[in-house]
Amino acid sequence: MSFSVGIIGLPNVGKSTLFKALTKNPVGIADYPFTTIHPNVGLVAVPDKRLEKIAQVIKPEKITPTVIEFVDIAGLVKDAHKGEGLGNQFLAQIRNCDALVEVVKAFDNASNASIEKDIEIIKTELEKKDLESKEKENLLSKKPILYVFNINEQRTKNNEQELKQMFSFPCSLFIDLKLEVEISEMSESEIKELGIASKLDQMILSCYDILSLITFYTITRGKETRAWTLKKGLRVPVAGGIVHSDFETKFIRAEVISAQKLIAAGSWKQARELGQILTTGKEYVVEDGDVVEFKI
């Protein structure tokens, strides 16, 4: 189950800057040899402290994070829905995405009024495109959106508060994207020395949230500890199908323990002795943080 997030917004607001910062550091694992699948499509590892802790218990040969796809969609302009500026092509790309990150220019001298206008243009384009669409289930304007206000030093904390009050979006972040590119090129020690922190992990996890996604883990007998992405509320055979199609079609049962319990127990064996490993049937709904062994 791979999820795709489209980066949208007007031209020159920092979309490609965000894409560059996100894809700067390769996922670096055999299963994903290319971080950038296409010049504008990249795979980004989902930050996951739990995965590291499970790996400390299991000591696998290989640790594999789960990934999320980001697509740098070219800038939308007014009347894109009528085909302006290759608008139809861009809107078709948006249709293929599960969620959107909208970058809004709030750097330099962008006034609150211009920010409001920019947001309105994009909203209107998506809604107008939806009006012509026959497919009512895939409406562009109904996709979950995370707003990223691209700020810089000139926009002070006060302005941030003002903007937050102006727009009561369910999900928004204030990020200096230019700084993020610089951070992505620094070593850990340089970042520490400068006392700065990246907000990209938070952004990636916010995308996870707006998509109602959870993470479950497999440990494949100590060979590989791996994180997987699943929609909230699905049953264990569906999770199995993501790992291997046989795990869904030939599913018999699964052994499940929460990451937290496994980490506390210190080993799979110990967790079993403590009676903490649950044997479940087809009906079990996977929870965020479950470590699952599929039995077929």
Ligand X SMILES: Nc1nc2c(ncn2[C@@H]2O[C@H](COP(=O)(O)OP(=O)(O)O)[C@@H](O)[C@H]2O)c(=O)[nH]1
Nearer to Mg ion, 16 or 206 (CB): 16
15 is a contact residue toward ligand X (CB under 6 A): yes
**How far apart are alpha carbons 151 and 160 in whole angstroms?**
9
Least distance in angstroms from the C-beta of 151 to ligand X: 7
| Token couple for 68 | 């999320």
Among 118, 176, 248, 290, binds ligand X (CB under 6 A): 176
Among 24, 128, 178, 261, binds ligand X (CB under 6 A): 178
Output phi, psi for 28, to 5 deg.
70, 40
Least distance in angstroms from the C-beta of 234 to ligand X: 35
Q: From residue 209, how far is each of 150, 151, 205, 259 by CA, in Å?
A: 20, 23, 6, 19
**Segment 1-20, which members bind Mg ion (CB under 5 A)?**
15-16
**Segment 13-72, which members bind Mg ion (CB under 5 A)?**
15-16
270 is a contact residue toward ligand X (CB under 6 A): no
What DSSP letter does each residue of 228-287 carry, written as one string? EEEETT-BHHHHHHHH-HHHHHT--EEEEEEHHHHHHH-SHHHHHHTT-PEEE-TTPBP-
Residue 286, strand partner residues: none
CB 44 within 8 A of CB 71: no
| Token couple for 98 | 């599960």
**Segment 112-171, which members bind ligand X (CB under 6 A)?**
150, 152
Least distance in angstroms from the C-beta of 199 to ligand X: 12
**Segment 21-60, which members bind ligand X (CB under 6 A)?**
none
Least distance in angstroms from the C-beta of 117 to ligand X: 16
Nearer to Mg ion, 37 or 234 (CB): 37
Residues that bind Mg ion (CB under 5 A): 15-16
